Structure 1
Amino acid sequence: MPDGVRGALVHYVSATLADTFPISWLASDHPDPIPPGRILLSWTSANDGSTTVTAYLGLPAAEVLLATWPGLTGEWTHIVHPTVVEVMGLHSALTLATLVAELLAD
C-alpha cells in the first residue's frame, strides 16, 4: 500500500474472478468511517514475502472486522474476492429488504 493510506476502499466488485476491484485509497488521516456497505482492504508484507490482508465492513453505526487472511503469497486477490463479493451482495440485499419492510409498515 502507498504511504499515508489506511487501505483500499472497494466501490464495486464483479462476481467474475478475472475482473478487478474499482477502489480508491483512503488516507490514514481520513476522519470519516467506512461508508455503509463498503469494504476497506488493507495489507502488510512480512519479511518472508507473505502478505496479511485484513477487511473491514462499513455499517451504519460502526466499522467491523470482516476477515483476516494471514500469510498469503503471490497474487492474493483471488483468495479475498469471494468474501468481498458475498458480503457486498448480502449487504445490498439486506438494505433492500429493510427499505421494503419500512415501506410496507407505513
Structure 2
Amino acid sequence: MTHVPADVGASVPVSWSRHGAKVPDGVVLLSWHSTSNGATDTSAQLGLANGEVTLALWPNLRGDWIRVVHPTLHEVLGLHAAMSLAKDALRLANHLLDAH
C-alpha cells in the first residue's frame, strides 16, 4: 500500500507480495491468519530503509476489522511521509551549508 485515505469508508489500494518478501520503504504489509476459534490474528509491518518494524498486532479480531486497522495505517503512512519530507529537507539544508 502506498496511500490510505482518511475516510474509513474509502477503498484502500492493495498489492500482493510473496510470503517472506522484503517490504519496501514506506509500505505497510498486513498479514492475517484465521484462528481455531473463528477470529483473525492481524499484524502490520512498516518497511523502512534499514528493515521492517512491527506497527501493530491485533489478535482475535472478529467480523469487519477494517474500522480497527484502517486508522492505524492512515496515521502511520502520514507520519512516514512527514518524516521522509523532513529527512529530505535536512539533507538539502546540509548540502546547501556544505556548498558555502
Q: Give TM-score, length-normalised by structure 1.
A: 0.85
Q: Structure 2 unaligned runs (5+)? A: 96-100
Task: State how many pairs are aligned.
Answer: 95
Any residues of structure 2 matched to 1:1-106 within 5 Å, and which? 10-28=1-19, 30=21, 33-106=22-95
Residue 47 of structure 1: how far off its partner (Å):
2.0
User: Among the aligned pairs, what percent are the same residue?
Assistant: 42
The 3-state SS of whatever aligns with 1:78 is helix
Which has a greater percent of strand?
1
Which has a greater percent of helix?
2
The 3-state SS of whatever aligns with 1:35 is coil
The 3-state SS of whatever aligns with 1:55 is strand
- Code of the residue aligned with 2:25 in structure 1: it is P
Q: Structure 1 unaligned runs (5+)? A: 1-9
CA contact (8 A) 2:2 2:26 kept: no
The 3-state SS of whatever aligns with 1:94 is helix
- Code of the residue aligned with 1:17 in structure 2: it is V
Higher relative contact order (CA 8 A, sep 6+): 2
Q: Who is 1:4 aligned against? A: none
Q: For residues 44-75 of structure 1, give each alpha carbon's deviation from its aligned partner in whole angstroms, at most 9, with x where no partner exists.
A: 01122110101000000001111100010000
Give every structure 1 segment of 4 or more consecutive aligned residues whose post-TM-superposition deviation is greater than 3 Å: none
Which is greater in Rg? 2
Residue 29 of structure 1: how far off its partner (Å):
5.7
